[in-house]
Amino acid sequence: MREAEVRAVLVDPANGAPVILLQDRHSSKVLPIWIGQPEAISIAAALEKKQFPRPMSHDLMKALLEAAGAKLEKVIISDLKENTFYATIYLRTADGKVKEIDARPSDSVALALRTSAPIYISEEVFDQSAIELPSNEEAAARPLGDEQREFEEFVDKELDLAEFKRYLD
């Protein structure tokens, strides 16, 4: 099992889809996972510690866990089947039992960021799908694609629902 952290939320220049990069804490390799737009925005908001007047879905999930007396222990990116990543959420209930819940990696990561729960990647998934992160010099030499630049500008702005709607249109 490898402990990971969110290295970046990017846009794939080939297809415009959001990608999160999970980096192993002890290597320069990252696991790229393509995710949906709303989840990318939720993860980016958590990384930036953005607060909204109304709770986003993952904020609501966190509030429900707290209200039920449950605690997110950890999330594991546990499997890869037919080009789809799977995750497992480990939840400690109010009575102390640990429940394993099947989840999408994007939701797992968004919730882990909000609850400060550790993120892990199984050895098998990491060995199968992790890639070497380019050096800073190589990355700086490549120009950002239009989609990447637009997404980064969006994340850097004050996120609000009107801006979110404009971005999706």
The 8-class DSSP code of residue 95 comes to T
- The pTM of the full predicted model, rounded to 2 decimals, is 0.78
pLDDT tens, per residue, the chain with 169 residues: 999 999 999 998 888 899 999 999 999 899 999 999 999 999 999 998 888 888 889 989 999 999 999 999 999 999 999 999 999 999 999 999 999 999 999 999 999 999 999 999 999 999 999 998 766 544 444 445 555 555 555 555 544 444 544 544 4
Q: Is residue 123 exposed (0-12), middle (13-18) or buried (19+ Cβ within 10 Å)?
A: exposed
The 8-class DSSP code of residue 124 comes to H
pLDDT at 160: 46
**Domain-wise residue ranges, the chain:** 2-168
Task: Round to whole Å and give the CA distance between 13 and 147.
Answer: 6
CATH code given to domain 2-168: 3.10.690.10
Residues forming a β-bridge with 101: 89
